[in-house]
């Protein structure tokens, strides 16, 4: 039986490996999923939508290569679990770093409630991406 901290690490490792089945199997059905990326608020309740359409459809699509899981830290905020992970990602021939912070609840061995905040794709080196007129940096 996994501890809830282990669930957070398994989530980060499945995401980094682009393991669709592994990530889907961590999510309860239904799951209360919401996320915030630099340009959008995401919501879903079906694990397949979360994994196939959002995580591996929009955030880390077929043309994006996750080259490295650089760090994973797990912890707890009162009764809520948290995991932070940093990824090396190659997109469009450019190396980026992406960090996400997730807060979640586990019902048994599956995540039934999760909120994710994403840094967006940040260039690995060189100048920062320009700030858009709406004030959002990068992508």
pLDDT reported for residue 133: 52
Q: Which distant-in-sequence residues (6+ apart) come within 8 Å of 77 by Cβ?
A: 103
Over residues 48-97, the pLDDT tens digits come to 999 999 999 999 999 999 999 999 999 999 999 999 999 999 999 999 99
Q: Angle at the Cα of 105 (from 108 to 118), degrees rounded to 5?
A: 135
Q: Can you list the pairs that 113-116 forms with residues at least 24 positions away whose Cβ atoms lie under 8 Å?
A: 113/31, 113/32, 114/27, 114/31, 114/32, 114/33, 114/34, 115/34, 115/35, 116/34, 116/35, 116/36
Give the tens place of pLDDT for each residue, 111-138. 999 999 999 999 997 555 555 455 444 4
Report all structural domains of the chain as residue ranges with CATH numbers, in order of start.
4-121 (3.10.450.50)
pLDDT in tens, 29-48: 999 999 999 999 999 999 99
- Would you state the pLDDT for residue 125? 78
Q: Is the pTM of this model over 0.85?
A: yes
């Amino acid at each position: 039986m996994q501890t809830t901290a282990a669930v957070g690490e398994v989530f980060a490792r499945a995401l980094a490996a682009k393991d669709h089945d592994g990530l889907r199997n961590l999510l309860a059905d239904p799951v209360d999923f919401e996320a915030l990326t630099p340009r959008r608020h995401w919501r879903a309740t079906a694990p397949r939508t979360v994994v196939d359409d959002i995580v591996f459809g929009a955030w880390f699509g077929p043309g994006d290569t996750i080259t490295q899981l650089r760090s994973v830290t797990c912890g707890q905020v009162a009764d809520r679990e948290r995991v932070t992970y940093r990824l090396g990602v190659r997109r469009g021939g450019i190396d980026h770093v992406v960090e996400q912070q997730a807060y979640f609840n586990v019902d048994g061995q599956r995540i039934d409630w999760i909120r994710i905040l994403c840094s967006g794709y940040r260039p690995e080196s060189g100048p920062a991406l320009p700030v858009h007129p709406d004030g959002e940096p990068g992508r």
